[in-house]
């Protein structure tokens, strides 16, 4: 049929213009678009139920309104400070499950998204259908920035499996999850502690924002592992790079740069956020590639200093053995992997610590129980250690409860169906974007009693010992589970316990707490807040 359409179009296009030709062209267009419509209808014939999409925009306008759009219709002060914030995407998607079930469809433009809610649905899809649902969609803005390489956003397949397996092994052998990283994290906290003592005195009753110090400490752990060096918190180049990464994330998720996903050519516009985003990418690229080049020039294969050295040694070994495959180990891949480690590792852990401090400020009774437990087990003569985890069950339960309440990556990273498949009685076409709503797993009233209440004791048994739950999956589940899970757990435990040992946190007197639904972006960050810090 399509061949016939092409022949008809050629005849119409080459014939002299006349009313007959115009009529033929009209018939051609009508038939062509009807053909496409019925083809699309057949493709989506047995998809999960969902709200009726509007032409062109689908369900986008009614379900997800980007923050930069909201700011166009509200004064900045009202938008930033009002308690009446719009429904967060993860909450809205969870509420739709009450109408359409735990697996349903929505459209963003013409793109089909299938949303999974609840533990059973997410686990079934991510584990029993892992080979089909572990791919990543080709999102224009993400693809432009990552070239679909690295670990987090790379498509699922042989190259990704080789890269992830190597990275996971290298990081584990280099100390990930072992006590060898503990001194590095302690060193970071020592700097944080000194700065908090200094700045809290300067801020006084007005309180202070912890974000810059926490972000620097977390980034320095990643830097020690991957780059083999730490940066002082006042190091201008390092601070510039952290600011660039934060700016790039903010532009990518909370500005008109989102429109690049609809019109990719916008990325190249020579003004506004588009120009700013290109500059951020250019500056970060120059910084990381300079470090990689320095590592290669000073590489000693017998004495690897960090992750970059380990990767370069493997890359050179494959080159020597003539085993390097297209898309395999290369400096370009290394560059994007380092970017993944920095951006994903810094943002998620920083926000988790900020959420912990905020919840302790709002629940002083919980904070006091955590401090009493740390005082009894650790005392004040040394910093908490990973070896203390087993004897600090209430502290560990508090960390887990804050993670459950906040889920810093609430909708996971989007997955994609790599082929058409049957799932739960529905047909999921190839190319469908799969959204595992991790928020819904952790707020599911069928598995958590009073899920919207903050209650650390839900993770403790009758004897007060830590109670593990299969429904607790803040790092995801399946083959795309967060590669940095062990590092994040180490950092959260050591930073949180050290801060609780040294300080008591509270909101400034008369200040209202920030909205607790969080700022939705690549991660779920708390709205900006300040705390008063009292040394213990």
CA-CA-CA-CA dihedral for 93, 469, 525, 147, to nearest 10: -80
Poorest-confidence range of 192-201, 325-334, 379-388, 394-403?
A: 325-334
Q: Residue 506 in 3-state DSSP?
A: strand
By the 8 A CB rule, do 431 and 438 touch? no
pLDDT tens digit sequence for 245-277: 777 777 877 778 888 888 889 999 999 889 999
Query: Residue 80 has what pLDDT?
Result: 41
Residue 3 pLDDT grade (very low, low, confident, very high; cuts 50, 70, 90): low
Q: Which of 347, 350, 340 is nearest to 136 (CA)?
A: 340
CA separation for the pair 147, 139 (Å, rounded): 11
Count CB neighbours of 355 within 10 A: 21
Phi, psi of 135 (to 5 degrees): -80, 170
Query: Residue 5 has what pLDDT?
Result: 52
Poorest-confidence range of 133-137, 241-245, 444-448?
A: 241-245
CA separation for the pair 331, 324 (Å, rounded): 12
Binding site, by residue number, is 482
pLDDT at 377 over 90: yes
Query: Residue 252 has what pLDDT?
Result: 79
pLDDT tens digit sequence for 323-348: 555 557 888 899 999 988 887 778 89
- pLDDT mean over 180-188: 83
CA separation for the pair 101, 341 (Å, rounded): 36
Query: Residue 172 has what pLDDT?
Result: 76
Top-confidence residue, 209 or 233: 209
By the 8 A CB rule, do 166 and 314 touch? yes
Query: Residue 347 has what pLDDT?
Result: 86
pLDDT tens digit sequence for 94-119: 888 999 999 999 998 889 999 999 99
CA separation for the pair 360, 340 (Å, rounded): 30
By the 8 A CB rule, do 222 and 342 touch? yes
Q: Which stretch of DSSP H or E encloses residue 367?
A: helix 364-377
- pLDDT mean over 288-315: 90
For the record, the structure tokens of 361 come out as 């400020």
Query: Residue 353 has what pLDDT?
Result: 96
Q: Which range, 157-171, 260-274, 317-331, 425-439, is most confident?
A: 425-439
pLDDT at 16 over 60: no
pLDDT at 24 over 60: no
Q: What percent of the chain is predicted at pLDDT more than 90?
A: 46
Query: Residue 31 has what pLDDT?
Result: 47
Query: Residue 174 has what pLDDT?
Result: 64
pLDDT tens digit sequence for 494-536: 999 999 999 999 999 988 899 998 888 778 999 999 999 999 8
pLDDT at 363 over 90: yes
Residue 235 pLDDT grade (very low, low, confident, very high; cuts 50, 70, 90): confident
Query: Residue 395 has what pLDDT?
Result: 98
Poorest-confidence range of 84-88, 97-101, 168-172, 183-187?
A: 84-88
Residue 76 pLDDT grade (very low, low, confident, very high; cuts 50, 70, 90): very low
What class has domain 149-408+443-535? mainly alpha
Query: Residue 530 has what pLDDT?
Result: 94
Binding site for heme, by residue number, is 482
Domain boundaries defined on the chain: 149-408+443-535
User: 338: Cβ–Cβ under 8 A, 6 or more apart, which residues?
Assistant: 226, 227, 288, 292, 307, 308
Poorest-confidence range of 174-178, 325-329, 428-432, 459-463?
A: 174-178
- pLDDT mean over 65-73: 49
For the record, the structure tokens of 298 come out as 């000073």
Query: Residue 263 has what pLDDT?
Result: 86
By the 8 A CB rule, do 490 and 185 touch? yes
Residue 359 pLDDT grade (very low, low, confident, very high; cuts 50, 70, 90): very high
Top-confidence residue, 13 or 491: 491
Residue 239 pLDDT grade (very low, low, confident, very high; cuts 50, 70, 90): confident
Mean pLDDT for the chain?
Answer: 84
User: 236: Cβ–Cβ under 8 A, 6 or more apart, which residues?
Assistant: none
């Amino acid at each position: 049929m399509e061949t016939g359409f092409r022949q008809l179009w050629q005849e119409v296009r080459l014939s002299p213009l006349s009313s007959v030709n115009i009529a033929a062209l009209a018939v051609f267009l009508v038939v062509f678009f009807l053909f496409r419509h019925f083809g699309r209808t057949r493709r989506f014939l047995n998809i999960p139920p969902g709200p009726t999409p509007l032409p062109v925009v689908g369900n986008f306008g009614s379900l997800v309104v980007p923050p930069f759009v909201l700011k166009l219709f509200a004064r900045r002060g009202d938008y930033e400070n009002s308690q009446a914030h719009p429904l967060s995407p993860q909450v809205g998607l969870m509420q739709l499950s009450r109408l359409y079930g735990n697996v349903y469809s929505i459209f963003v433009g013409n793109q089909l998204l299938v949303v999974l809610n609840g533990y059973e649905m997410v686990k079934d899809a991510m584990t029993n259908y892992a080979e089909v649902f572990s791919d990543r969609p080709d999102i224009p803005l993400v693809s432009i920035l990552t070239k679909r390489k690295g670990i987090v956003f790379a498509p699922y397949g042989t190259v990704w499996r080789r890269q992830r397996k190597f990275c996971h092994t290298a990081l584990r052998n280099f100390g990930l999850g072992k006590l060898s990283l503990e001194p590095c994290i302690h060193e970071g906290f020592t700097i944080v502690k000194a700065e908090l003592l200094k700045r809290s005195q300067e801020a006084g009753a007005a309180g202070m924002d912890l974000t810059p110090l926490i972000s620097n400490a977390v980034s320095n752990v990643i830097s020690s592992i991957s780059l083999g060096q730490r940066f002082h918190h006042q190091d201008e180049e390092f601070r510039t790079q952290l600011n660039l990464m934060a700016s790039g994330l903010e532009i990518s998720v909370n500005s008109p740069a989102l429109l690049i996903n609809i019109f990719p050519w916008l990325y190249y516009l020579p003004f506004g956020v588009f120009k700013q985003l290109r500059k951020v990418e250019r500056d970060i690229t120059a910084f990381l590639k300079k470090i990689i080049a320095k590592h290669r020039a000073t590489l000693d294969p017998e004495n690897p200093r960090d992750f970059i050295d380990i990767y370069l040694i493997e890359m050179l070994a494959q080159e020597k053995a003539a085993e390097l495959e297209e898309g395999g180990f290369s400096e370009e891949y290394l560059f994007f992997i380092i970017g993944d480690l920095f951006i994903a590792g810094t943002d998620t852990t920083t926000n988790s610590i900020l959420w912990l401090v905020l919840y302790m400020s709002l629940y002083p009774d919980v904070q006091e129980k955590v401090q009493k437990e740390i005082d009894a087990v650790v005392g004040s003569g040394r910093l908490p250690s990973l070896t203390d985890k087993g004897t600090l069950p209430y502290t560990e339960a508090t960390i887990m409860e804050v993670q459950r309440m906040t889920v810093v990556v609430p909708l996971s990273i989007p997955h994609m169906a790599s082929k058409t498949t049957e799932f739960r009685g529905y047909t999921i076409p190839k190319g469908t974007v799969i959204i595992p709503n991790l928020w819904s797993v952790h707020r599911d009233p069928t598995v958590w009693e009073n899920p919207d209440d903050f209650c650390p004791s839900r993770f403790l048994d009758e004897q007060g010992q830590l109670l593990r739950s299969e429904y607790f999956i803040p790092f995801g589940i399946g083959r795309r589970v967060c590669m940095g899970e062990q590092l994040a757990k180490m950092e959260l435990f050591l930073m949180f316990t050290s801060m609780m040992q040294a300080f008591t946190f509270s909101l400034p007197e008369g200040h209202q707490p920030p909205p607790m639904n969080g700022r939705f972006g690549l991660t779920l960050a708390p709205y900006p807040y300040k705390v008063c810090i009292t040394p213990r």
